A and B are shown apart, each in its own frame.
Chain A
Amino acid sequence: MRLRAIVGEAVRSLGASMSTTVAATLTVLIGMFVLGLVIGLGTWVLSWSEHAKRQLLVKVYFCSPGAQGCAREATAKDIEAVRLWLAKEKGERVKSFRFISQQEALRIMRKKFPELTKDLPYNPLPASYEVVPTKGEYTDDIKRDLLRSGPGGTKPPGVETVKDGGEKARRVVKVGSIIEAVFLVGLVVLLGASTLLIANTIRLSIFARRREIEVMKLVGATNWFVRGPFMIEGLICGLVGSLAAVLLLFLGRELVLPALPHLDSGTSDVRALSFELTALVIIGAGLVLGALGSALTVHRFLKV
C-alpha cells in the first residue's frame, strides 16, 4: 500500500507539474548528450594518443665492422647479455623486444630503399634489438639504464649505441600527456557543469513546491512519504532524459559520423569507448543525478 501510494503520488505530480517535469527532462537530456560526446571524443583521442606512444621504440645497435666508437665487433655473448637485460625488464618497462640480424636489417632496408642499397659492396648495417616499451614515457629510462648496464655502470661491451627516437619521441609523449590532461579536465568540468545544471533545475522545481512539502509534513507525512515521490520523479526525468540523449547520440553515430572524412589510416587499434558502454554510463549517470538531486534538494525543505 505504502509503495503503491508513493508511486501513485509521483505519477500524479509528474502530470500536475508538467512544465517543470519537461524542463528537468530536457536539462538531463542536454547534460547527458554533452557527457556522451565528451566520453566518445575523449576516449577516441586518448586511444589515439596511446597508439602514437606505442609507436615509440628503443633501438640497441651492436658494433659491426668499421663502426665508430667500437673497439671490436659484437660477439654472441654481448648480444646475449643485452637479451638477458631486456628479458629481466620484460613485463615492467619492456613490453616486447625483437632481434634484427644484420641480414634482416639489410633485407628491410632493401625493401624500403631499393635504389640506395642495390650497389652495396658489403652489408654495413649493424645487428640490433627493437624494444617496445610498455609505455611511451619509458623510452628515455630504458635508454639511460641500458647504457649503464655494462660492467661498473658503463656501456655494455659490443653495443655501439642506443637510440630512443630523440626529440620527436619526447614531443609525442608530451603531446599525448597534454591531450590526456585536457580530456580529463574537460570531462570533470563538463560533468560538474551538467550536474550543476540538472541540480539547479530540480532545485527550482522543488522550490516552487516548498509550501506543498510544508503542508505534507504538517499533516503527518513521514520524510520518506514526501521524499519518495520526488525521488521517483527525478528517476523518471533522469531515465527519459538520458534515454533521449542515447538516442540522439546513436542517430549522430549512424548519420553524421559516416559523412565525416574518414580518419582511420591503418590505425585499427584507435577507437572510442564502445557505444553500449557509453550508453550505460549515460543512463546510470542520468538516473543517479535525477534521484539524488531530488532527494538532496527535498532534504532542505523537510525540516518543518
Chain B
Amino acid sequence: MIVFDGVTKVYEPDVVALEDVSFVIEKGEFVFIVGASGSGKSTIVRLLLKEIEPTRGRVLVGGRDLGRLKRSKIPMLRRNVACVFQDFKLLPNRTAYENVAYALKVQGESRESIRKKVPEVLSLVGLAHKASSYPGELSGGEQQRVSIARAVANHPPLLVCDEPTGNLDPDTSVGIMQLLYRINLAGTTVLMVTHDREMVNKMRKRVIALEEGRLARDERRGGYE
C-alpha cells in the first residue's frame, strides 16, 4: 500500500527532516507514527499528499511512484489518500452537510449520490442531527468528526490522520479513536501521526517511531516508548 524507500527530505537551507527512512505499510493496517516535535512525522504526511517532494528516495502509494506523478494527477491522488488534520480544515462558511458534500462534488459525484451518501456518512460519525450546523457552531470533537466524515465519504483506500486528537480533550479523543478503529475494520488503511501516548499504548497497533528524522523503531504491536 505505502512504501518509503530510503527517503530523505532536507528543507532549505539545510534542515534535515527525514534521513534515509524506509518502511512498508500493507493494505488494511492501522499504523501509528510517533516521535517528538520536529522528528519528521508531519513531513511523512506532506510527502504522502505530494505537498512536497523527497530530496532523495522514493515514496510509493498503491504501487505508484509519487515522484513520477504529474501535477495534474495530484487531485486524483488526494481523493485516494484522504486526510484528517489537527486543525480540522473545514470550510467555515459551509454546514457540516455541505463540507462533506463538497468533497464528493469535487470527485464528480452526481447530486443523487451526494444526497444519499452524505447523511449516511454523517450518521456513521454520529452527527446526523448536526448536518445543518456550521463549523463555528460545533465543538472541537464534532468538527473533527465532520472532518473524518468528509475524508471517508467516498471510501478511500488510505486515511492519513495528522494528530487528529491533538486539539481534543481525552474523552473526545477516545470517541475519535473508536471511530477511526471502526473505519479501519471496514478495510481502510489508517496511518496516524500522533503525540497521544495513552492512546498508542492502549490500542497496541503497529508503531513506527522517528527520532531526529531517522527511523528509530518499527514494532508490530508497539507502545509509545
Give the interface centre of A2, A5, A9 by most chain B CB atoms within 10 Å: A5
Closest to A219 in B: B103
A1 touches B110 (CB 8 A): yes
Can you report 19 A-B residue pairs in the complex whose CB atoms are below 8 A from each other? A16-B93, A214-B89, A215-B89, A216-B91, A216-B102, A216-B106, A217-B75, A218-B78, A219-B79, A219-B106, A220-B75, A220-B76, A220-B79, A220-B103, A221-B106, A222-B75, A222-B106, A225-B106, A304-B51
Q: Is A89 an interface residue (CB 8 A)?
A: no
Q: How many residues of A contact B (CB 8 A)?
A: 19
A104 in contact (CB, < 8 A): no
Q: Of residues 75 to 105 in A, which have CB atoms within 8 Å of B's CB atoms?
A: none
Excluding A218-B89, A220-B78, 16 further A-B contacts by CB distance (< 8 Å) are A1-B108, A1-B111, A2-B108, A5-B105, A9-B105, A214-B89, A215-B90, A216-B102, A218-B49, A218-B78, A218-B83, A219-B150, A220-B75, A220-B106, A220-B107, A221-B106
B-side interface residues, number (CB < 8 Å): 23
**How far is the CB of A229 from the nearest CB of chain B, in Å?**
11
Tell me, rounded to whole Å, the shortest Cβ–Cβ distance linking A296 to chain B: 18
Chain B CB within 10 Å — which of A2, A9, A17, A217 has the most?
A217
In the bound complex, residues from chain A placing their C-beta under 8 Å from that of B93 are 16-17, 212
Q: State which residues 172-229 of A face B: CB under 8 Å.
A: 212, 214-223, 225
Q: Indicate if the CB atoms of B110 and A221 lie closer than 8 Å.
A: no
Q: For the complex, what is the distance from the CA of A220 to the CA of B82, rounded to whole Å?
A: 9
Please, which residues of chain B bring their CB within 8 A of the CB of A218?
49, 78, 83, 89
Q: Which residue of A has the minimal Cβ distance to B89? A: A215
Report which residue of A218, A220, A223 has the largest number of chain B beta carbons within 10 angstroms of its beta carbon: A220
Least CB distance, B173 to chain A, in whole angstroms: 22
Q: Write out, one digit per residue, whether chain B residues 77-95 have a CB within 8 A of any chain A CB (1) or not (0).
A: 1110001000001111100
Chain B residues with CB under 8 Å of A17's CB are 93
Q: For the complex, give the distance between the alpha carbons of A155 and B76 in Å.
A: 84
**In this complex, what residue of A is CB-closest to B110?**
A1
Closest to B107 in A: A220
